[in-house]
């Protein structure tokens, strides 16, 4: 369930993962690896809160398409 604070709507980690179509493990790996910056906002319990703009950026990352040659290079297969 989204949280609204001062007119801004925020979403918790589980909602973000469900909306974007990624697992929590993937989200945390992206945050730790610097693929996506850490959430700027947290609630009183310390849980991450994401804005709709941040969710859109995560969707773009999740739906990114790379050429097979780029993936092979990244994975060290070539």
Query: What pLDDT was estimated at residue 71?
Result: 54
Query: What pLDDT was estimated at residue 69?
Result: 59
Query: What pLDDT was estimated at residue 36?
Result: 84
pLDDT in tens, the chain (78 residues): 888 988 999 999 999 999 999 999 999 999 998 888 888 899 899 999 999 999 999 999 898 876 665 555 555 554
User: Is domain 3-74 annotated with CATH 1.10.1660.10?
Assistant: yes
At residue 47, φ and ψ (nearest 5 deg) are -75, 140
- Domain residues of the chain, as ranges? 3-74
Query: What pLDDT was estimated at residue 1?
Result: 84
By C-alpha distance, which of 52, 7, 13 is closest to 31?
Answer: 13
Alpha-carbon distance values, 39 to 8, 28, 62 (Å): 15, 11, 17
User: DSSP character for 40?
Assistant: S
The structure's pTM equals 0.75
């Amino acid at each position: 369930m989204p949280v609204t604070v001062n007119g801004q709507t925020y979403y918790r980690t589980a909602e973000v993962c469900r909306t974007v179509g990624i697992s929590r493990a993937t989200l945390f790996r992206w945050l730790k690896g610097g693929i996506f910056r850490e959430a700027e906002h947290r609630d009183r319990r310390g849980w991450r809160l994401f804005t709709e703009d941040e969710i859109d950026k995560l969707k773009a990352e999740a739906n990114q398409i790379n050429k097979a040659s780029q993936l092979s290079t990244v994975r060290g297969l070539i």
